[in-house]
């Protein structure tokens, strides 16, 4: 029996207590505080509440402040009109589980279901999904700690026991004013129906909050959404690259210039470079693409390369993989029509059979007409894998930490697109013999972006 108790103690510590300590005390793998001088973040848990949340929204609107609402899914389901108002007035909506229950007492699969169910409720009301998550009481288990939920965990830097009405508005305001400064992430509650809370406590919170907002205006401080605070943090970190990383980036970009000169790469849109290309003979094994086009050894192709400087700038601005993927998708989408017109209009490219590229993108390029294939095993695949992983560590928002997450997805892929598909989808004018009616042939770029969120969330690397 004693051994069983010891085993249960170690198991519970590994599953719950140790992750909790690392996140709450050391802030590991969570966001809990910014560093800006003039912005702080108001965050509200447990709502929406039919009485207090509308009053809170009125107050925020009066002082032109933005906030983040971590909603309980069952409450959001009961009050969709309030959730819609939160969204319409420009506030950020995050997840606080479907029911207010500690993650310590739920299995990982149950936590995921709680998160997904709440996300589905939010999406049904607002048409937009969220990746921001605050577990009830800020308590995480081992699988939350490992980001098994797929969300960004947001905690706080200051809390005030505002769920208890006995604290009173005066004392609560004093506590909040003592923490009113740039970078602070304040935890408050707009609903008092949670177990352990007082039903009338949010009323005291609103009185105190108005005093705090008045003081914030006098000090030139403003409350912003958590995602905006994260963006500012990302930009600040990008400007503070270590000397070693700056050295690596400068050498890497210098090497790229030499590579472009050595192989005679050209740029699709020099004014805003994203894609570079060169005409070359295909050297791989015969490939049969989905449209029936055969690409054989010796056939002419256009080999595509991303602009590494542009990728680095995108990575520096991006706080998540999804943001990086969206920026890349839009940039590539912008270049493809110019590339299609060039292939169709310039005689030197008339014999080109298709586009060819090697990248870490595992999903998503199919949306543009590319055929995705595995690289044949061998020296080229191994060396390409090493190079692209080094590239990823420099430009990716998570840097080297990306290697520890889903490393099986970090495999180079070969992308191919037949020239006919490129021209048919993207050229502004069509060849006379193959031109369908204008309304069918004209590429509708917006339609290709309809599934952008799904593509970006599935894109595991650059």
**Residue 180 token pair:** 């009113």
pLDDT at residue 142 is higher than 70: no
Report the pLDDT value the prediction gives residue 149, as an integer from 0 to 100. 56
Q: What is the CA radius of gyration of the chain?
A: 26
% residues pLDDT > 90 (the chain): 35
Percent of the chain with pLDDT over 70: 69
pLDDT in tens, 244-267: 666 767 777 787 788 888 888 999
Q: How confident is the model at residue 455 (pLDDT cuts 50, 70, 90)?
A: very low
Instruction: List Cβ neighbours of 353 (8 Å cut-off, separation of 6 or more).
Output: 282, 293, 295, 299, 300, 301, 418, 419
Q: What is the mean pLDDT of the chain?
A: 78
- Paired with 358 in beta bridges are 414
Strand partners of residue 255: none
Q: What is the pLDDT of residue 69?
A: 98
Q: What is the C-alpha separation between 381 and 11, in angstroms, rounded?
A: 42
The larger pLDDT score, comparing residue 255 to residue 100, is at 100
Q: What is the pLDDT of residues 336-387, one digit of tens each?
A: 898 999 888 888 988 898 888 887 655 567 777 788 877 777 766 676 666 6
Q: Which of 85, 74, 88, 141 is nearest to 111 (CA)?
A: 141
Closest listed residue to residue 308, CA positions, set 236, 381, 409, 396: 396
Residue identified by tokens 């009830």 is 136
For the segment 173-178, the average pLDDT, to the nearest whole number, is: 96
201 vs 163: CA distance, rounded Å: 5
pLDDT, tens digit, for every residue of 268-312?
A: 888 888 899 999 998 877 887 767 778 888 899 999 888 877 777
Among candidate residues 147, 99, 144, the one with its CA nearest the CA of residue 121: 99
Q: Flag whether the pTM goes above 0.85.
A: no
Name the one residue in this structure whose structure tokens are 């005679």: 264
Residue 295 backbone dihedrals phi, psi, to 5 degrees: -110, 115
Active-site residues, by number, are 45, 189
């Amino acid at each position: 029996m004693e051994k069983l108790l010891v085993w249960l103690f170690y198991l519970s510590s590994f599953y719950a207590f140790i992750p909790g300590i690392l996140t709450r005390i050391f802030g590991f793998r969570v966001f809990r505080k910014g560093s800006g001088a003039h912005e702080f973040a108001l965050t509200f848990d447990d709502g929406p509440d039919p009485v207090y949340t509308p009053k809170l929204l009125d107050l925020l609107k009066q002082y032109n402040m933005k906030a983040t609402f971590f909603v309980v899914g069952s409450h959001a389901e009961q009050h969709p009109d309030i959730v819609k108002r939160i969204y319409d007035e420009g506030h950020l909506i995050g997840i606080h589980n479907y029911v207010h229950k500690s993650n310590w007492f739920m299995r990982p699969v149950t936590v995921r279901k709680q998160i997904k169910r709440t996300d589905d409720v939010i999406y049904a009301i607002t048409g937009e999904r969220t990746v921001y998550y605050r577990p009830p009481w800020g308590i995480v288990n081992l699988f939350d700690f490992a980001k098994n939920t797929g969300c960004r965990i947001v905690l706080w830097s200051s809390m005030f026991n505002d769920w208890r009405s006995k604290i009173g508005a005066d004392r609560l305001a004093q506590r909040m004013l003592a923490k009113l400064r740039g970078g602070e992430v304040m935890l408050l509650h707009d609903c008092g129906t949670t177990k352990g809370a007082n039903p009338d406590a949010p009323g005291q919170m609103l009185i105190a909050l108005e005093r705090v907002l008045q003081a914030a205006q006098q000090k030139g401080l403003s409350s912003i959404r958590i995602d905006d605070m994260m963006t500012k943090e990302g930009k600040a970190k990008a400007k503070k690259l270590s000397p070693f990383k700056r050295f690596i980036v400068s050498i890497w970009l210098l090497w790229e210039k030499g590579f472009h000169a050595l192989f005679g790469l050209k740029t699709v849109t020099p004014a805003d470079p994203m894609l570079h290309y060169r005409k070359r003979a295909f050297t791989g094994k015969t490939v049969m693409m989905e449209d029936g086009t055969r690409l054989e050894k010796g056939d002419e192709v256009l080999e595509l390369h991303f602009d590494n400087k542009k990728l680095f700038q995108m990575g520096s601005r991006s706080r998540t993989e999804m943001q990086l993927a969206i920026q890349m998708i839009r940039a590539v989408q912008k270049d493809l029509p110019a590339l299609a017109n060039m292939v169709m209009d310039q005689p030197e490219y008339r014999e080109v059979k298709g586009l060819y590229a090697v990248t870490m993108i595992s999903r998503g390029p199919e949306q543009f007409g590319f055929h995705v294939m595995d690289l044949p095993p061998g020296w080229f695949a191994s060396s390409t894998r090493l190079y692209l992983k080094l590239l990823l560590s420099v430009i990716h928002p998570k840097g080297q930490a990306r290697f520890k997450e889903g490393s099986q997805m970090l495999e180079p892929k070969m992308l191919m697109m037949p020239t006919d598909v490129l021209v048919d989808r993207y050229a502004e004018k069509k060849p006379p013999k193959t031109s369908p009616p204008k309304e069918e042939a004209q590429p509708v770029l917006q339609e290709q972006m309809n599934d952008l969120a799904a593509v970006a969330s599935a894109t595991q690397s650059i």
